[in-house]
Amino acid sequence: MQNIFGGPIVPTLLRLAILSFIVGLTLFFLGIDPVDLWRNFGKTIQETWSITIDALNWASGYAILGAIVVIPIWIIYRAVLFLTQSKS
């Protein structure tokens, strides 16, 4: 049974209870109602997915912009390094 809980049962349950209380207080202070959170669970997952996709789209544009500068400089650096090592 300890393998399932990751250690002794009573201390693990106590840690889970304390962590649950802290998370509950945090949600309370953020104005999140547990009933609304559960009721809108599907919508929350959809909004989280949408925000993640938007962030990846935003970041990919800047990554490509940076790669336009970084990749040619890296290729030149590697070519110069290869040429200087082959002469030695």
Are 59 and 27 found together in one domain? no
- The domain in which residue 79 lies consists of 41-88
Nearest to 37 by CA among 24, 50, 53: 24
Are 25 and 48 found together in one domain? no
Which has more confidence, 76 or 35? 76
Are 60 and 27 found together in one domain? no
Look at the pTM and tell me if it is higher than 0.85. Answer: no
Sorted by sequence, the CB contacts under 8 Å of residue 5 that are 6+ apart come out as 12, 13
* pLDDT tens digits along 18-39: 999 999 899 888 888 878 777 8
Token output for 82: 């290869």
| Angle, CA of 30, 32 and 34, to the nearest 5° | 140
